[in-house]
Amino acid sequence: CLEAKPRLTLLAQEICRLVGQILADWQALQKKLPAFRAFAATMQDVDEQLARLIHKRFVVDTPFERLQHYPRYLKAIALRLDKLKAAGAAGATRDSRLLAELTPLSVNWQRRAAVLARQGLADAQLEQFRWLLEELRVQLFAQELRTPVPVSTKRLQKMWEGM
């Protein structure tokens, strides 16, 4: 117990630092979002993603190992918006094409997650799939940030078919 106490303090400090960074990144995104409302499909997707990531209980509900990736997820959203703005119509076309790749996988996950939530059940494989969807978003919209695991639309489709 005496050995664990200093480690617990360090972990608590790290969580506080990380959550502070996440909230600062989230706030910066919130300021940026109004300029992109003309891109309705992109904004709906970004709004839904942010609602899944940052909610009242996200610090408590999100495993620390996933919470550590939040700054990268938020940076990926910012890069996605920057690319959309910089490329104009071509950026909107590119974003729509990539979103069309992602949407069927995301919808499948959302439907199954909703059914399990209504039943009060959890599924570790479905939870893993959820986080791989976040990684796929990074891969598709902000590839320069890299992902810790190889991820692609085809890989996730194959995984989904095996679930």
Alpha helices in 120-145 (DSSP H): 124-141
**78 phi and psi angles, rounded to 5 deg:** -60, -45
* Mean pLDDT of all residues in 71-82: 98
Number of domains in the chain: 1
Say how far apart CA 95 and CA 137 lie, in whole Å.
Answer: 11
* Mean pLDDT of all residues in 43-70: 97
- Enter the pTM of the model: 0.93
Can you give the residue range of the structural domain that contains 82?
4-161
The whole-chain average pLDDT of the chain stands at: 95
User: Worst-scoring range by mean pLDDT, 65-69, 88-92, 123-127?
Assistant: 88-92
Q: How far is CA 11 from CA 17, 21, 61, 82, 114, in A?
A: 10, 15, 16, 34, 32
Closest listed residue to residue 140, CA positions, set 84, 99, 86: 99
Residue 157 CB neighbours (<10 A) = 14
Asked if residue 4 has pLDDT above 80, the reply is no
One-letter amino acid of 130: R
Contact 97, 162 (CB under 8 A): no
